[in-house]
Amino acid sequence: MRRVVITGAGTLNPLGADVPATFAAMQQGRCAIGPLTCRDVDRLSIQIGAEIRNFTPEDHFARNSLSLLDRFTQIALISARQAMAQSGLVIDDALGLRAGVILGTAGGGNTTVDDNYHTVYAEGKNRVHPFVVPRLMHNAAASHVSMEFGLKGPGYTVSTACASGNHAMGQAFHMVRGGGADVMLTGGSEAMLCFGGIKAWEGLRVMSRDTCRPFSRNRSGMVQGEGGAVFVFEDYDHARARGAEILAEVTGFGMSADAGDIVMPDRDGPVRAMRAALADAGTAPDAVDYVNAHGTGTAANDRTEAEALRIVMGAHADMVPVSSTKSMHGHLIGGTSAVELLACLMALRDGVIAPTVNFSEPDPEIGLDVVPNCARQARVDVVMSNAFAFGGLNAVLVLKRAP
């Protein structure tokens, strides 16, 4: 099997419009959670979220093409452009047949759905735009990325709720490692901060009314955000042959299903996913230098994840830094683990571990080193990134410092 490396990264998320801005915000421990500005916000019980502010789509896309692009697709395309620019890849006819795209999303064109339901039901109109279906379909982002860059190899979308991004990147890793492609663009994006999106999540009663404080004793729930990130996964030999800068190496991926409850987490599934990822990477648990936790800020999720980490890590769980960047950028649902992978790259490349902000008091049921409130300098050679989704679908990635 072939080695897989990352040669490009791009993002648009509440912390920044590119990777350097996102790294800077994470290092500063900046929280992007604030008042929502969506339509009918006064009818919402939850009025906070992590929005991408000062974003003008017309600055990035021709006006006539915007009729085809939901916000989640715009985020993916902008992120992919940045990743491709950093990678320096030129997709010619031959490479195009060996290059593909796998992206994750949970809601797809959620804003398009919300806007058009409003048009039909609230405004009483009988016609909608002819491109509603191409905008809202979950594969829209993957399709547009493939078309923009001429990626004619494997292409599809993964939708596994909050683990969509990690599942997509894990599948892309398998594709390159197994020889099905030389290059894969992969990651995830989400844009659910609209009236319908927030109203649906309100019904679950897992949302915080003030802020996201994962692992803190007084945590009060998750906070939604929007955004995403895209990476270039590439065969190591292919990258070396063209002189590409290698950002990190992807070494392992593990998946599992709880096969239990549709919303309540279970520690057995995450334990099996983490163990599978570490075994796939050939990495011992005590060799992990940083864990980017799923860490949603709900009482059940954080406690269950801490229990699972202790089972997998043993005594090392008391020493390894475990942080949740959702405290800064919110829960981006299908795009969140892609943005969290940026925190992993920052730890590996810059030796900076992103903090868990808004932390106020330790929870004795957690007892982990959650890197509270301030970023930390450290030598990091191996990272593990967790994603545990509703439906009990778990996906874990392991990366190491660039060879």
Give the catalytic positions in this structure.
Answer: 162, 294, 331
Residue 165, strand partner residues: none
d(CA 80, CA 160): 21
Instruction: Provide Rg for the chain, Cα atoms.
Output: 20
**Residue 111 C-beta-side C-alpha neighbours within 13 Å:** 19
Enumerate residues 6+ apart whose C-beta is below 8 A from 41: 35, 47, 195
What gap in Å lies between CA 195 and CA 400, rounded to an integer? 40
Crossing angle of helices 110-117 and 71-87, rounded to 10°: 160
* Residue whose structure tokens are 């799923």: 294
Q: Which residues contact 182 (CB under 8 A, 6 or more apart)?
A: 95, 98, 99, 176, 234, 235, 238
d(CA 5, CA 48): 37
Q: Answer whether 154's CB lies under 8 Å from 184's CB.
A: yes
Q: How many residues does the chain have?
A: 403
In this structure, what DSSP letter does residue 337 have?
H
Phi, psi of 392 (to 5 degrees): 70, 35
- Exposure string of 335-353, with b = 16+ CB inside 10 Å and e = fewer, is bbbbbbbbbbbbbbeeebb
Phi and psi at residue 193, in whole multiples of 5°? -85, 65
Residues 6+ apart with CB under 8 A from 109: 70, 72, 73, 135, 136, 137, 138, 140
Beta bridge partners of 185: 101, 232
